[in-house]
Amino acid sequence: MEQTSTALSKIVTTMETKLGELEDRSRRNNIVVHGLCERKENSNALQYITAQLPLWFPTLKDTPPEIMRAHRIGVSRSKATKPRVMIFMCLRYTDRARILKAARDSLLVMEGKDVRFTADYSIVTRARRKSCYPVMEKARLEGYQAFLLYPATIKVSKGHEHTLFQDPVMLEEFLVSRENEESFGNTTRAQVAQIDDENNVT
């Protein structure tokens, strides 16, 4: 019974992942804007985004990206302290890539608040990526560069060493093993130094 339950659980997880990937493909030209003040676009989000992108990011001026549609997500609330996200769809995937790169290279601040641009993913993929953030932050604190590749693969780098992890638990175990290696190395060096000191005394 337990084996059957485990097998079914794996099947469900696999199906959820595949459905998430299919949904991600349908969203591949979308961009989500976080922190954009409400009513900036008045009644025409498409016109606003199309006009503002080259102004926000000068690298887009020569060949402005073509936007197919744009809108806010959720019901408007007059007393909301946090603005609703805006989502827009690019005509071409290359335009989406250009916009996201421009947003990474040049931070946009409006009315004292950061405005962020992110790719649009399914709920399943967002959950997987979110689970990676804590251990990625830990890796950065320990001197690694940490990146998140699609859909939820963590890449860590230090010097010429580059390692990929398909699961945040695997990265956690990797960091622990490195800590143990460093601790052992420090202990060994201390013991060697102590022996040298004793030899010098004698």
Quick: pLDDT tens for 114-173. Answer: 999 999 999 999 999 999 999 999 999 999 999 999 999 999 999 999 999 999 999 999
Q: 133: number of CA atoms within 13 Å, CB side? A: 6
Output the pTM of the full model: 0.76
143 in the Ramachandran plot: left (φ > 0), alpha (ψ -120 to 50) or beta?
Answer: left
Q: How far apart are CA 194 and CA 171, in angstroms?
A: 35
Q: How far apart are CA 53 and CA 46, in angstroms?
A: 11
Q: Is residue 66 within 8 Å of residue 89, measured between CB atoms?
A: no
Residue 147 token pair = 């990146």
Q: Is residue 114 within 8 Å of residue 35, measured between CB atoms?
A: yes
Task: Calculate helix-pair angle for 123-130, 2-26, nearest 10 degrees.
Answer: 110
Structure confidence by residue, pLDDT tens digits, 39-89: 889 889 999 999 999 999 999 999 999 999 999 998 877 666 789 999 999
| Sequence-separated (6 or more) residues with CB below 8 Å from residue 118 | 31, 32, 34, 100
149 in the Ramachandran plot: left (φ > 0), alpha (ψ -120 to 50) or beta?
Answer: beta
* Amino acid (one-letter) located at 166: Q
Sorted by where each starts, the structural domains of the chain and their CATH numbers stand as: 28-120 (3.30.70.1820), 131-201 (3.30.250.20)
Structure confidence by residue, pLDDT tens digits, 2-48: 677 778 878 887 888 888 889 999 999 999 999 999 888 988 999 99
What's the chain's length in residues?
Answer: 202
Residue 133 token pair = 């953030």
CA distances from 110 to 2, 57, 71, 199 (A): 55, 13, 19, 67
